Amino acid sequence: MSLALTLEDRALLNGEGGEAAALAMRVLVETARLMGAEKLIPIASAHIDGALYHGDAGTLFAEKLVAGGAKVAVRSTLNVGALDLHCGAKTRLPAHEHAMAKRMMLAYEAMGCEASWTCAPYQAGHRPSLGSDVAWGESNAVAFCNSVLGARTNRYGDYLDICCAITARAPSYGLHIPKNRLARFALDCSGLSAELRDSEVFWPVIGTLYGQKAGNDVGVVLGLENYATEDRLKAFGAAAASAGAVGLFHILGVTPEAPDMKTVAGGDHALPVIPVTPAMLGSARAGLSTSTEAKIDAVAIGSPHCSVEELLALDGLIAGRRLAVPFYACTGRHAVKALEAAGRRAAIEAAGVTLVADTCIVVTPILSAISGVLMTNSGKFAHYAPGNTGYGVQYGALKDCVESAVSGRLMRDERLWQ
């Protein structure tokens, strides 16, 4: 099948919507051909991952779009940038990189994108409706959007996301097509203890295991009906999308496209079932830590960005104590404002927590040194921190992170896993 373009598509391609829209259409058309799409489809919204500075090339591309008159044609939220423009957390970016990162952020705002600057836009009021087609970037946001909201998006990488937003179109392939959203395998957690399944620290671990088993396939997780919360699903999806090319997961009885096995599998046929054993879980969990040291140099939470509920939980666990090591809570402006409204921002900061908004510690150099041991409750931070920050990682629950930060030594409750 070859790609069929409408008259309107061709008009944009021919420059009738301006130079930048024509460029964006060329990128879309080439991607559509590459992925075997038969047509372009309208999209309801976009989430743009492309505004994070990795080098000057990305800034120059954004500025070329702006110079060509680019404006987004649908609601477009922005993922993180490389700078905290809201809480003012300091980065160690050299002057040139700092300036180019800021130019990049301003270029995306100039195209009409919302200054949301968060990897959890779905907790900042951007929640597309069930069954709608959208073009989202950022692997955790894609997983949440598809799986928890039931909107349809592929994993739109940097630069394709803004091209979709400018043209209000996306190539029709992959997860936009209902049959590609069906589960092809099942991961069964029903043999695990209720206490474990009902703990926060379990979800990034089972997400990691899911990602390792799934690759880019779609599966359904069984046995978690009574334990899912929005923040747990967020943590699962982020870990899964770090460990595999996961764009969509289902959790039976929880996520909207998995009310029962027949619906999620698309028929009465039996799916291959992988029973999750404590040993498999133990191995996935062990893989999240790379350090064997008992000393902790820093703690970071908030990948994906903390919700206000998570920040308030942190506040409760600190319980008025003073933290002995640097503690970074990465979050969005939406949650910082909610924390202020709850009257707890000053208390959290006084305890020693650095609030990092608009960005996070694995995408830009915020940690005060270039090596050491970082503790985190995030499967995604655990995955990316060693390569991106130079720190070794210890994975643990939020409570473990707080206790370790108070004492400066690794404090981890192992009882759940025994």
Partner 1 sequence: MAMTPLLDGPGIISPACGPLLKLGAPLSFWGGVDPATGRIIQVRHPECGRSIAGVVLALPATIGSSSSAAVLLELIRNGNAPAALLLVEPDAILLIGCVVAKEMGWPAPPAFQITAEAQAALTPGIYSFAADGSFTKTDT
| Interacting residues toward partner 1 by CB under 8 A | 23, 26-27, 30-31, 34-36, 49-50, 52, 54-58, 60-61, 64, 137-139, 142, 154-161, 171, 215-216, 241-245, 287, 290, 362, 383-384, 386-388
Q: Rounded to the nearest whole angstrom, what is the least distance from the CB of residue 322 to partner 1 in the complex?
A: 32
Which CB, 243 or 252, lies closer to partner 1?
A: 243
**Pairwise CA distance, residues 101 & 54, whole Å:** 8
The H or E element containing residue 298 is: strand 298-306
> Which of 155/399 has CB closer to partner 1?
155
- Beta carbon nearer to partner 1, 199 or 208: 208
| DSSP notation for 238-255 | HHHHHHS--S--EETTTS
CB of 216 to partner 1, least distance (A): 7
Whose Cβ is closer to partner 1: residue 117's or residue 156's? 156
* Residue placing its CB nearer to partner 1 in the complex, 64 or 344: 64
Least distance CB 176 / partner 1 (angstroms): 12
CB of 344 to partner 1, least distance (A): 32
Cβ-based neighbours of 344, under 8 Å, separated by 6 or more: 311, 312, 315
SS3 37: coil
Least separation, in Å, of the C-beta of 131 and partner 1? Answer: 22
Cβ-based nearer residue to partner 1, 27 or 317? 27
**Taking the complex as a whole, how short is the minimal distance between the CB of residue 134 and partner 1, in angstroms?**
14
Q: Which is nearer to partner 1, 82 or 228 (CB)?
A: 82
Q: Which residues contact 100 (CB under 8 A, 6 or more apart)?
A: 53, 56, 59
Residue 341 — φ and ψ, nearest 5°?
Answer: -65, -30
- Give the dihedral of Cα atoms 144, 359, 70, 8; nearest 10 deg: -10
Range 80-92 burial, b when 16+ CB lie within 10 A, else e: bbbbbbbbebebe
Write the single-letter amino acid at 18.
Answer: G
- Give 282 or 316: the residue with its C-beta nearer to partner 1: 282
DSSP string, 169-213: EEE--GGGSGGGGS--EEEE-TTS-HHHHTSTTHHHHHHHHHHHH
Closest approach of partner 1 to the CB of residue 364, in Å: 12
Q: Least Å distance between CB 137 and partner 1? A: 5
Taking Cα atoms as reference points, which of 235, 63, 261 lies closest to residue 162?
A: 63
Q: Which is nearer to partner 1, 174 or 326 (CB)?
A: 174
374 φ, ψ (degrees, to nearest 5): -110, 130
Q: Residue 228 CB: number of other CB atoms within 10 A?
A: 18
Nearer to partner 1, 137 or 372 (CB): 137
3-class state of residue 34 by DSSP: helix
- Closest separation in Å from C-beta 156 to partner 1: 7
H/E element, 222: strand 219-222
Give the separation between CA 90 and CA 215, rounded to whole angstroms: 36
Shortest Å, Cβ 255 to partner 1: 21
How many angstroms separate the CA atoms of 157 and 294, rounded? 38
Task: Give Cβ neighbours of residue 96 (< 8 Å, ≥ 6 apart).
Answer: none
Residue 136 CB, nearest approach to partner 1 (Å): 9
- Contact yes or no for 174/35 (Cβ under 8 A): yes
C-beta of 106 vs 355, nearer to partner 1:
106
Distance, C-alpha 200 to centroid of its chain = 17
